[in-house]
Amino acid sequence: MITAMDIRERAPGDVLDYQQLVSYLRDYAKPRDRIGLLMDQGDLIRVRKGLYVLGDRYRRRPLHKGHLANLIYGPSYVSLDYALSHYGLIPERVEEVTSVTLGRRRRFETPLGVFSYRPLPLARYAPGVTLLGEGDVHYLIATAEKALVDKVWADKRLGPASLKEVEAYLEEDLRLDEDRVADLDLERLDAIREAFASRKIDLLTRTLARLKGHAG
Looking at residue 212, what is its pLDDT? 82
Among residues 151, 4, 159, which one has the least CA distance to residue 85?
A: 151
Separation of alpha carbons 179 and 215, rounded Å: 7
Give the residues of the chain that fall short of pLDDT 70: 160, 214-216
Looking at residue 135, what is its pLDDT? 75
Specify the length of the chain in residues. Answer: 216
Are 30 and 69 contacting, i.e. CB atoms less than 8 angstroms apart? no
Bridge partners for 115 per DSSP: 97, 108
pTM for this model (two decimals): 0.93
Looking at residue 215, what is its pLDDT? 57
For the sheet containing 113-119, what is the strand order?
Answer: 106-110, 113-119, 97-101, 76-78, 137-142, 129-134
Angle ∠(33,50,57) on CA atoms, nearest 5: 70
99: DSSP letter: E
Looking at residue 213, what is its pLDDT? 76
